[in-house]
Amino acid sequence: MTTARLLESAAEVFAQRGFNGGSIEMICEHAGFSRGAFYSNFASKDELFFAMFEAHADVLLTRLRFALEQASAASDPLQHFARLASRQSDDDRQWFLITTEFTLYAIRNPEAAVVLSRKDETVRQEIGRILTELLATTGREFVVDAELVARFAVALREGGNAQEFVEPGNLDARLMERLALPAVLDAFSRESADSPSHSQRVNHH
């Protein structure tokens, strides 16, 4: 209960004040706790952020797995997946503000960058596995590392969000994802050797 409240409070404080501007004191005051309650759960603001990161990653990956499950039975799995995966969540803007500023902080702080890159890699690997499974439903396989394609997908989402939040009402970043993601998946994949149509062509020749 205490941990959840601190995470919720930190999200609100960081979104309003920024990661650097939002102090531990502000987070505790907003949550109605003492500094002791904070330090009994987290050693630092960095550790608090990474707990937020992991919680957000769990939600994201659950959403992508659901999209994969639904897309597997669709007539056009890639388009169906892109449509479901691109849906915006209520906290997308808040999380974008928080994570963008922490990324800048990590660029200036090598120790934070090491931890952030490791956690990003874990998420990308899982996204890569999900995209690999998605392609398999269409009889295709990647011709490049799936994690590299995951980087494209993440860059597409984050770049679109940056533009949409700067230009609210003038850009539909979700439309950009729905248009671009299937094209990226198709461009970096080929028909797999064990797909029915491939086998038919091999047998024919």
The domain locations on the chain are 1-42, 45-194
Q: How many CB atoms lie within 10 A of CB 124?
A: 18
Q: Specify the fold of 1-42.
A: Arc Repressor Mutant, subunit A (1.10.10)
pLDDT surpasses 90 at 128: yes
Report the pLDDT value the prediction gives residue 69, as an integer from 0 to 100.
97
What is the average pLDDT value for the chain, to the nearest integer? 91
Region 162-182 average pLDDT = 90
Whole-prediction pTM = 0.88
pLDDT surpasses 70 at 197: no
Per-residue pLDDT tens digits for 38-64:
999 999 999 999 999 999 999 999 999
Evaluate whether 1-42 and 45-194 have a shared fold: no
Report the pLDDT value the prediction gives residue 90, as an integer from 0 to 100.
79
Q: Specify the fold of 45-194.
A: Tetracycline Repressor; domain 2 (1.10.357)
Q: Give the DSSP letter string of 26-66.
A: HHHHHHT--HHHHHTT-SSHHHHHHHHHHHHHHHHHHHHHH
